[in-house]
Amino acid sequence: MTVSVKKTMMSDKEEIISVDYEIFGRVQGVFFRKYTQAEGKKLGLVGRVQNTEAGTVQGQLQGPSTKVKLMQEWLKTTGSPKSQIVKAEFKNERKIEHLDHKHFKIVRS
């Protein structure tokens, strides 16, 4: 039984996904981008985060699907200590073969 479990675990390669996000609320001027970058790096994700002219924060996440899901939950519920998240939107989720980013970067306008 142990052998078959080990074999199954080794053959199950986790999907790599990409998802775009936009976070609404008090998310600018509260170090949201810095904390997002740190959390993404901690989870081993790559992508980007940037402020928008509309007062939101947007970006893209890429990495193993379980880690991306953890980051999505963090973006919806945690953010930076002084942020107040009203809504988080996630779009264009798709399976990818290769990462488009090398790091998790803050894009400054």
Catalytic residues, by residue number, are 33, 51
CA atoms of 105 and 33, how far apart (whole Å)? 9
Three-state SS for 47? strand
**Contact predicate 26/83, CB 8 Å:** yes
Tokens linked to 105? 């970067």
